[in-house]
Amino acid sequence: MADTQVEDLEYHVTFPTAISADSGDGNSDNPAQSDRKEPVVILLGWAGCEDRHLSKYSAIYHSIGFTTVRYTLPSQHMVSAPKIKVIARKVLELVFDLGLEENVVFFHVFSNAGCFIYRYITQYLHNPEFGGGELASIKVGGCIFDSAPCATSLLMYLKVRNRADKTSGFFMRIVHIVIILLAGILSFFLPSGSSWNIRQDISSFMSEMKIDRSRYPQLYLYSKTDDICDWRGVEDVVEARRKKGSEVQQVCWQESPHCAHLLAHRDEYIQNCQDFVQGCLLTFMDED
């Protein structure tokens, strides 16, 4: 395992344990082991997520021979579209920095902190006007959404930020809330081009998740008791993606908290994730 920092982008990467071809441990039914270039999963964590949390999800893929890259957006950047765009580009550049540009890449994104990055990742991958250049050549096999996307609002952001901020005292939490509220109020009066104006960017988020140009398979994992990510909003996105011709799978649990579906439904969660990526790999290899 290597813990690496590229400028202000802190990430963690885990490479799979090598499996000898003559050790008798290989599985010919596992598409990850049938090719010399192991697949890659980029995990984008929820607000306040620590790597010790995200590594539990990394293990799902490590156990089937995948490389994993883990990154979590700092919660203070969640309302800064310019910073998120830069971060999204850097996340994709990691594929080349790590020499993984010939590998099939999957994304596993959590809540809106992960989804905000993914939103711009798809622009770099599929929108020529975004200037992705060589980034558009990355081979994407599919994407998994855990507790995302969530309809955005200032109230939702405050709730997420409050849960994520485990270290600040009560006074500093109040200060953060006041600053965010003032920024939200100012956004209604400042010109649309202003760097302070987040209103238009926030309101367009769910619409963009419905119409993004990607056509690789997607898996949505969510529940009806999530107090941050409304299941009806997720299903609106699912329906819109299907109408666009995307292959979409969904798992909706009756009860499990936000970004805690693995904890509540461990075996089912792991099976769904592994079945999804391996199924996508088989399809990808057939088309290649």
Contacts of residue 273, defined as CB under 8 A and 6 or more positions apart, other chains included, come to 60, 61, 108, 144, 219
Answer whether residue 244 shows pLDDT above 60. yes
If you write DSSP's letter for every residue of 35-89 in order, what string do you get? SSS--EEEEEEPTT--HHHHHHHHHHHHTTT-EEEEEE--GGGTT-HHHHHHHHH
Q: What is the pLDDT of residue 174?
A: 65
C-alpha span between 275 and 79 (Å, rounded): 34
Domain boundaries, the chain: 2-150+214-287
Q: Is the pLDDT of residue 259 over 80?
A: yes
Between 284 and 214, whose confidence is greater? Answer: 214
Cα-based torsion angle of the residue sequence 220, 1, 64, 104 in order, rounded to the nearest 10 degrees? 60
Number of separate helices (H) and strands (E) present in the chain: 10, 8
Neighbouring C-alpha atoms within 13 Å toward the C-beta of 15: 10
pLDDT score for 23: 34
pLDDT in tens, 33-77: 544 589 999 999 998 899 999 999 999 999 999 999 999 999 878
Mean pLDDT of 257-264: 96
Q: What is the pLDDT of residues 204-225, one digit of tens each?
A: 889 999 998 999 999 999 999 9
* Longest Cα separation, the chain: 68
What interhelical angle do 111-126 and 154-164 show, nearest 10? 110
* DSSP-assigned beta bridge partners for residue 11: 4
Does the pTM surpass 0.95? The reply is no
2-150+214-287: CATH class: alpha beta
